[in-house]
Chain A
């Protein structure tokens, strides 16, 4: 469980993150999607307590990271961007250090190391020096380091950056498996990664959250569907799935006789006509009908055009 409330973070005069709030719950991997420079890494650093927020609060697994950083750090596993490691140590020595630092000793320590090596597919590399193994293996060592103490909360910054397609698939399956029981948040600038492993997604741009929702919803909005926000006055429950040609329809809220919907239709000129006609036919009064994509479109363009040049 991660709870971020009104976090601002400035580095000198540069405002990296502005008024960011979100929560992450266990059971589904949450993706933090955004172009390079959007503030994803800043959020990651603030979540782990590596940096403290200039304003706002961050609670991880019920612990405030500023007032009790030690306890917060115990509950977090963190894979920083590029998986920084000590090149002069062997994989075994490195994990031995992390395990001891995490408070394991003796047989329990050896068991934890063996299990983690198994899980990350590193068993064959224990005695190799870190500067002699491939980038993919290094990323796995970084991941092993993050999960060795079975943390409640796992924070992964660009976990698949720089890997080849096969390695990416392997790492993603490990992350997906971890996400079933733990609170996992990962950052990426690649849409496909989110679709592959995340159940929920937060989209950041220029230091702010610009959209959040289930992956399917966000994917639909990003994939060129026309998404509308609709507010109807109606006594009966509107059956939005009966709108002709509808791709998705979500009920956002119902207050008295006011119902707010989000409806996705295939992109077409004047696609809103279908919703209006459907409402009239059903006898719902349309109070509001507006396109819900102003920011997302630009983000989407940056995300797609940025694909490939990202690290």
Chain B
């Protein structure tokens, strides 16, 4: 009996200890981030932000309790922002508040937190509920708002870039200039404009406008229709230490005119770029690893729409981009439409970096340009003669050698990216499901505006999420079938055999 009592007491004590372990484990904990680039933790840039603070920075997360109870993301947001506070050594304050309970909904809506609707089931009734999940950052008299926060994956970038802007007290700005009459910004580049507007003040320039001082980067979208006079302000900006993206087409395709091609190799911009050291060839790069294009075909009286492989829309594999250059170091994927090869006159010259090439086994179309998807039989006309890998984009850092006599000597170090395609930045990428193209564009904008720290945060989690290592579709599907068969059939069969062998071994030993 005494032993029994002892054991009962011991069992009770153990239960109490377990409870204490649970409670303390929830209070004192640590996380180990096993992901590549520690994408689930905040980066050094964010950790050391507090050094730039002269005053207390207050981050308030306005989140509705009913959303917090329902979804995991608010807790992840809280965990992440808590890291800022933890590293902030007291200069970063973090508060979580339910605006409904605190009765501050009107106030926070006024400063820009946007209410969201979610479906809830209450007493068996499905209804819509209004919830909030927004962050307000206050520093001195200034504040900034992230209207809706739900994806913890992009939160660090949003938060750190806003905090930096608040500290600096001036927004960053980029300028857009459409250099081709067939694709004006307000018609063809609305998605890109919207994406940039989340991080920058976006200024639209007309050809010939002076690039405003303080512009972090100029994005030139096409350029064949710019005259020499209209190019002069661009060079003036570069010469003063500006940064520019030249997304230029050696062959322009007019989508609205039945994909009609126009060869533009003689436009002044190509002479200017050649003077800087970049040669854009008036030809097109094609590849069998490509996107599909919808094609309407008449079958008797019926019109059918099919998706056809379109070698003009090439998929750039991760293996074909520079892993050293910040723009492509963490590669989210890139699809180019009707791209022209770009060469550096002297690729080994100081400041030049090749950042994008085509996949292996690409080929060129360089005299007759067939773009109609129904003329596929003509696409591979020059496959055998021109088969190879072609460079498609170069970056350059350094002072420029002026092309125009009117430009004085360079007074600052310029940054330039030249890529042989402007269509990948257009709304066409939305249509082809190539959202990663805009991510690459943001990478370029950030590198051009010298914001490599932010670039690094934003691209930390970026990988090419597609299964793009194997470019050849036939090889891909063969290997895919093999992988399926191995896992679904062969491995289980091996276990069956192991079982049979084991059983017969025991039977034989008898």
A interface residue numbers (CB < 8 A to B): 52, 55, 66-67, 90, 127-129, 132
Query: Which residues of the other chain, A, contact B509 by a CB distance below 8 angstroms?
Result: 90, 127
How far is the CB of B413 from the nearest CB of chain A, in Å? 76
B3 touches A127 (CB 8 A): no
How far is the CB of B114 from the nearest CB of chain A, in Å? 65
B1 in contact (CB, < 8 A): yes
A129 touches B506 (CB 8 A): yes
Instruction: Please give me the 7 A-B residue pairs with the lowest Cβ-Cβ distance, nearest first.
Output: A127-B509, A66-B3, A128-B510, A127-B510, A67-B3, A129-B510, A129-B506
Query: Which residues of the other chain, A, contact B506 by a CB distance below 8 angstroms?
Result: 90, 129
A selection of 13 A-B contacts at a CB cut-off of 8 Å is A52-B3, A52-B4, A55-B1, A66-B3, A67-B3, A90-B506, A90-B509, A127-B509, A127-B510, A128-B510, A129-B506, A129-B510, A132-B510
A24 vs B313: C-alpha distance when bound (angstroms)? 95
How far is the CB of B95 from the nearest CB of chain A, in Å? 58
B interface residue numbers (CB < 8 A to A): 1, 3-4, 506, 509-510
A67 vs B3: C-alpha distance when bound (angstroms)? 7
A253 vs B510: C-alpha distance when bound (angstroms)? 61
A55 vs B506: C-alpha distance when bound (angstroms)? 48
A127 vs B1: C-alpha distance when bound (angstroms)? 45
A90 vs B510: C-alpha distance when bound (angstroms)? 9
A306 vs B3: C-alpha distance when bound (angstroms)? 39
A132 vs B506: C-alpha distance when bound (angstroms)? 13
How far is the CB of B155 from the nearest CB of chain A, in Å? 56
A137 vs B506: C-alpha distance when bound (angstroms)? 19
Query: Which residues of the other chain, B, contact A128 by a CB distance below 8 angstroms?
Result: 510
A67 vs B5: C-alpha distance when bound (angstroms)? 12
Query: Which residues of the other chain, A, contact B1 by a CB distance below 8 angstroms?
Result: 55
- Nearest-CB residue, chain A, relative to B3: A66
Query: Which residues of the other chain, B, contact A127 by a CB distance below 8 angstroms?
Result: 509-510
- Nearest-CB residue, chain A, relative to B509: A127
10 other contacts beyond A90-B506, A127-B509, A127-B510, with CB at 8 A cut-off?
Answer: A52-B3, A52-B4, A55-B1, A66-B3, A67-B3, A90-B509, A128-B510, A129-B506, A129-B510, A132-B510
- Nearest-CB residue, chain B, relative to A66: B3
- Nearest-CB residue, chain B, relative to A69: B3
Query: Which residues of the other chain, A, contact B3 by a CB distance below 8 angstroms?
Result: 52, 66-67
Query: Which residues of the other chain, B, contact A66 by a CB distance below 8 angstroms?
Result: 3
A166 vs B3: C-alpha distance when bound (angstroms)? 46
A143 vs B207: C-alpha distance when bound (angstroms)? 102
How far is the CB of B221 from the nearest CB of chain A, in Å? 74
Query: Which residues of the other chain, B, contact A132 by a CB distance below 8 angstroms?
Result: 510
- Nearest-CB residue, chain A, relative to B507: A129
A272 vs B188: C-alpha distance when bound (angstroms)? 129
How far is the CB of B319 from the nearest CB of chain A, in Å? 53
How far is the CB of B508 from the nearest CB of chain A, in Å? 10
How far is the CB of A157 from the nearest CB of chain B, in Å? 24
Query: Which residues of the other chain, B, contact A90 by a CB distance below 8 angstroms?
Result: 506, 509
- Nearest-CB residue, chain A, relative to B6: A67
A127 vs B506: C-alpha distance when bound (angstroms)? 9
How far is the CB of B194 from the nearest CB of chain A, in Å? 68
A70 vs B4: C-alpha distance when bound (angstroms)? 16
A127 vs B509: C-alpha distance when bound (angstroms)? 7
Query: Which residues of the other chain, A, contact B510 by a CB distance below 8 angstroms?
Result: 127-129, 132
How far is the CB of A52 from the nearest CB of chain B, in Å? 8
- Nearest-CB residue, chain B, relative to A64: B3
A127 vs B3: C-alpha distance when bound (angstroms)? 43
Query: Which residues of the other chain, B, contact A55 by a CB distance below 8 angstroms?
Result: 1
